[in-house]
Amino acid sequence: MKWSLAQYVREFKQEVSKITWPTRSDAMRGTITVIIMSIVLALFLFVVNSFFAATIEYILEKF
């Protein structure tokens, strides 16, 4: 099978035209969801890390 740049570009354009792009509001909703979930996860990891750090510090002080 012979590879042709022109054929590749034509097929690429055909495939891109089949994509259903999200609306602006869908994209904004998705972006806000990702930002909020990232903040929630960061806070959760901070709490868990602080708990383990305090626990280890307590154990090391006792022994």
Residue 49 within any structural domain of the chain: yes
Residue 10 within any structural domain of the chain: no
What 50-58 contacts at long range (C-beta under 8 Å, 24+ apart), as own/partner pairs, is none
Q: Tens of pLDDT along the chain (63 residues)?
A: 677 999 999 999 999 999 999 999 999 999 999 999 999 999 999 999 999 999 999 999 998
Total count of domains within the chain: 1
DSSP 1-63: ----HHHHHHHHHHHHHT--PPPHHHHHHHHHHHHHHHHHHHHHHHHHHHHHHHHHHHHHHH-
Tokens of 21: 């792009």
* Full-model pTM: 0.69
Residue 11 within any structural domain of the chain: no
pLDDT at 2: 74
Radius of gyration of the chain (CA): 25
Residue 2 within any structural domain of the chain: no
Residue 31 within any structural domain of the chain: yes
Domain limits for position 50:
21-62
